[in-house]
Structure 1
Amino acid sequence: MGCILALLALISPRLVLFVLWIFSSVLSRAFDSWIVPLLGFFLLPWTTLVYAAFWDWGAGRHVAGFEWFFVILAFLIDLGAYGQGRRVQAR
């Protein structure tokens, strides 16, 4: 199941977040409230997905150490997607 979700994440992180929300409790365990994953779904899907993945599959049910590098990288990918969208709109 993990490999299928990883392949789907390359296509659409929002789809994987939706599948995780429906079929598992990863998002509810990683976040204290429902509002943060909902905002992450619409605003920062890669960041939300990577944080939830490393929280659940990382060491000790928290994001620590080198795992934060991947969360920050996902955040930069989300920001880059917004920047690319603005650049295309400007043309």
Structure 2
Amino acid sequence: MGCFFVLLAGVFPRFALLIVWIARPRMVDAAFDSWIWPLLGIVFLPFATLMYVILYTGGGGLSGSDWFWVVFAGLLDVVHWASSAVSRRQAPGYPGSVQA
């Protein structure tokens, strides 16, 4: 059950951004000039990209407090990448793993 929860947590922001992109393409088009930036966001920084699209207001961009949430989501993305790298290093049989 724990593995299923981790799988859902890793897939959720990518799936949510994809659904927003399909259901409300104007939101994504207003936030980004081309299709490459949201695609890179889905791959590398899904939480931050999702927050940016949701908080972006047409013409005005993001205000000061909105940037806090985007940066916070970016930190969550970085923590997610780092935790998966650490857990991979501790896996038995992984080359270079640290065994106690």
TM-score (ref. length: structure 1): 0.81
SS of the residue aligned with 2:62?
coil
Give the fraction of aligned pairs with identical amino acids, expressed as a percent.
36
1:16 has 2:16 as partner? yes
1:67 has 2:78 as partner? no
Instruction: Output the CA distance in 2 between the equivalents of 1:47 and 1:53.
Output: 10
CA RMSD between the two structures: 2.3
Provide the residue aligned with 1:42 in structure 2: 43
Q: What 5-or-longer segments of structure 1 have no aligned partner?
A: 1-8
Q: Over residues 39-67 of structure 1, what are the superposed CA-to-partner deviations in whole Å (9 max), with x where a residue is unaligned?
A: 0000000000001111048xx64111111
Letter in 2 for 1:54: L
Provide the residue aligned with 2:76 in structure 1: 77
Q: What 5-or-longer segments of structure 2 have no aligned partner?
A: 1-8, 91-100
Provide the residue aligned with 1:90 in structure 2: 89
Query: What count of residue pairs does the alignment treat as equivalent?
Result: 82
Provide the residue aligned with 1:4 in structure 2: none
1:23 CA drift (Å): 1.1
1:82 CA drift (Å): 0.3
Letter in 1 for 2:39: L
Q: Over residues 5-44 of structure 1, what are the superposed CA-to-partner deviations in whole Å (9 max), with x where a residue is unaligned?
A: xxxx9x7011111111111121111111110000000000
Letter in 1 for 2:56: W
Letter in 2 for 1:78: D
Tell me which structure has the larger Cα radius of gyration: 2
Q: Extract structure 1 runs of 4+ deviating beyond 6 A.
A: none
